[in-house]
Structure 1
Amino acid sequence: MKRPLLVVLVLAGIALLLLAWRLLAPQFREAPTWSGYIEGESLYLSAATSGRVTDLAVRRGQRVAAGTRLFLIEPDQQASQVQQATAELEAARAQAEDARLGQRPPEVAILEADRDSAEAAAREARIALNRAEQLVRRGIYARVRLDEARAAYQSAASRLDAARRRIEVAQLGQRQDQIRAADARVASAAARVSETGARLRTLSPIAPSAGRIEEVFYQRGEWAAANQPVVALIPDDRVFVRFFVPEVAVAAYRPGTRIRFRCDGCPDGLAATISYVSPRPEFTPPIIYSRESRDRLVFMVEARPDNGARLVPGLPVDVYPLGERR
């Protein structure tokens, strides 16, 4: 009789343990997380001109600060073009200054000769008019001769005025044309100086922001083609967290929402701000396949971390679901 009772008590105890485990196990079980990884967008830095790599200041995996010189393509040819453009600019400026000083053009010299001839004719006509007036008063010339002398003088004076106006117009017009042409040459030469200077600067690009050198495609002494990347840089502000949220939970994830995540070897308390939520669902990517999630539809979400410098692209991460406290 005691043996059946013992068996019943043992079975009851096992049942109680199973019930307690069913009730209490979820509290101790680790909460689910959304899987993802660290991603980085690369900048491919190149030179606008072909040439030999004369200096390489970085190596693969190195961290660089903003403004760091990365490499140098041989600058001799571009430097000579800058010097030539600068000399052309100085010559254009000198021509513009001479134009403003008012050099006499050849056409004005011809008009001045006409003016001198008109002045001489006007003087002679004036002398003839004075003589005619005296002779008319003395009764030697008839009145008609005085009228003729006066008309000849007025014609000569009109010719002289016209010659003087032509000189003024020619001097003013041609000088203004020369000044405008000289100013245009100065502007063209200045633009060439800016263009060649900009090309010279592209031979030695700088890091636009702090980041990590992802790849070096050419070494010192190698020939790099124009616009062919020499260095690939992942800026810290282009590092982001990419993770995948099940379709039943994606409605809570919107741009601007803060999320928390963790990764192996990373410091605690990592956080990021959601910048993009894919509008289309997809099957769980192969890199995060598991038996529990490989058949689920998920939405890709990207978030910008608070400090991308501490994160290495390619590192797996676990993102805490919104509302989880850790």
Structure 2
Amino acid sequence: MDRKRIAIGLGVLALAIAAFVTRGFGLVPSGDGDALRLYGNVDIREVDMAFRVPGRIDTVVVEEGDKVARGALLATIDPAPIDARAQQAEASVAQARAALAKLQNGNRPQDIAQAQARVAAAQAAAGKAREDVERRRPLVEPGAISRQLWEQSLAERDSADARLAEAREALSLARTGARAEDIAAAQAQLEASEAARRGVSTDLGDTRLVAKAQGTVVTRAREPGAMVQPGETVLTISLDRPLRVRAYVSETDLSRIAPGMAVTVRADGNPRAYRGTIGYISPRAEFTPKSVETENLRTDLVYRLRITVENPDNALRQGQPVTVSVTGAKPARD
């Protein structure tokens, strides 16, 4: 009897071990119950880091495999050529600002006084010329003076009057100041110079290449001393967060899931289960990609969905195949 009990006990123990290791071969329900299983891969999310300005690389401060935080310095370009442009832009702004101020402030008191003095001189000259004409007028008919001298006196009077009118207009302009159109043009020139300075300042900032997101350096493509053009890849960074899974659901199971559903993500050889949420389901059907290992035919129509993993770690790698369990999926239709 004891041997029989021992045999029964060993059999039950063996069955329990088999159920634990193999999830019961279908005889014992798994932790996921009747969960819908989907298949996919961890998204590969990389960004090629490049300078927006041309130049010679001065430093590259990271190596492949380094973890970088958002805002971390990655590399620099020699800023000397752009520094020279920045100084030139500053000088242009100062010149334009001075020209505008000159027009806005109007003429100096000394300039107005000088114009008044010219008017006074012109008045005196014009008065003398008129006096000469009036003194010589009675002498023309008797022939006391020549016709040529008389005509010269008239010309000198007219010329003096013209110079007086010119001096008076110059005084009026000195008192009035610059035209509104000239001030507006000077203002526009100042704004253009300031815009050019901002552009150079942006270029100067672009000589520093910084990380825009947290990640891992996977490729160091260029080295210090190399000449690079705008947009030429210097480093490639793999984005660690947020970690996303690209999975696929068959057409027949599409109605069983919805955005916002909680899921469990598992990877081969990794005992940990990761929590996730369905964030997006494609409205367009496609054929199952060859990179996805599924239990169905690869020619089946499927819909792509994106899952955001809530608690990732370094054991979950980009491009890794995963199995997704949707425990809250609606029951399958018969």
TM range (shorter): 0.5 to 0.7
Query: What stretches of structure 1 of length at least 5 have no aligned partner?
Result: 1-23, 125-159
Q: How far apart in 2 are the matches of 1:298 and 1:100?
A: 71
Alignment of 1:246-257 (within 5 A): 246-257=250-261
Q: Which whole-Å CA distance do the structure 2 matches of 1:77 and 1:243 have between them?
A: 49
Residue equivalent to 1:194:
198
The structure with the largest helix share of the pair is 1
C-alpha distance in 2 between matches for 1:277 and 1:219:
42
Unaligned runs of 5+ in 2: 1-23, 129-163, 330-334
Confirm or deny: 8 A CA contact 2:119 2:168 kept in the other structure: yes
2:319 to 301, 304, 314: 314
Q: How many residues align?
A: 266
RMSD across aligned positions (CA): 3.8
Where do 1:1-326 residues align within 5 Å?
Answer: 26-28=26-28, 30=30, 33-103=37-107, 112=116, 116=120, 167-168=171-172, 171-172=175-176, 174=178, 176-237=180-241, 239-264=243-268, 268-289=272-293, 292-307=296-311, 310=314, 311-323=316-328
Q: Distance in 2 between matches of 1:307 and 1:116?
A: 92
The aligned amino acid for 1:28 is: V
Separation in 2, partners of 1:35, 1:272: 14
Task: Name the TM-score, length of structure 1 as normaliser.
Answer: 0.67
Deviation at 1:285, TM superposition (A): 2.2
**Higher mean displacement: 163-172 or 25-34:** 163-172
Supply the distance in 1 between the matched residues of 2:261 and 2:112 (Cα, whole angstroms): 78
Alignment deviations for residues 18-74 of structure 1 (CA, whole Å, 9 cap, x no partner)? xxxxxx963426566211111133222211222222111222232210101111122
Q: Is the 8 A contact 1:275 1:304 kept in 2?
A: yes
> Partners in 2 of 1:29 and 1:212 — Cα distance?
40
User: For residues 184-219 of structure 1, what are the alpha-carbon distances to aligned partners after superposition, in whole Å with 9 as ceiling and x for unaligned?
Assistant: 332222111110110111121211121222322212
Return the offset for 1:265.
Answer: 6.4
Structure 2 CA distance, aligned partners of 1:178 and 1:266?
A: 75
The percentage of counterpart residues that share the same residue type is 28
Q: Counterparts of 2:171 and 2:307 in 1: how far apart (Å)?
A: 76
Q: Distance in 2 between matches of 1:309 and 1:83?
A: 49
Letter of the 1:228 counterpart? E
Alpha-carbon distance in 1 for matches of 2:227, 2:50: 12
Does the CA contact (< 8 Å) of 2:70 and 2:213 recur in 1?
yes
Q: CA deviation at 1:81?
A: 0.8
Aligned equivalents of 1:70, 1:312: Cα separation in 2: 23
Task: Give the deviation of 1:238 after TM superposition.
Answer: 5.5
For residue 228 of structure 1, report the CA deviation from its aligned partner.
1.3
Distance 1:171 1:44 in 2: 63
Q: Which amino acid aligns with 1:243?
A: A
Residue 281 of structure 1: CA displacement?
Answer: 2.8
The amino acid across from 2:326 in the alignment is P
TM-score scaled by structure 2? 0.65
CA distance in 2: counterparts of 1:294 and 1:307, whole angstroms: 31
Q: Alignment partner of 2:200: what SS?
A: helix
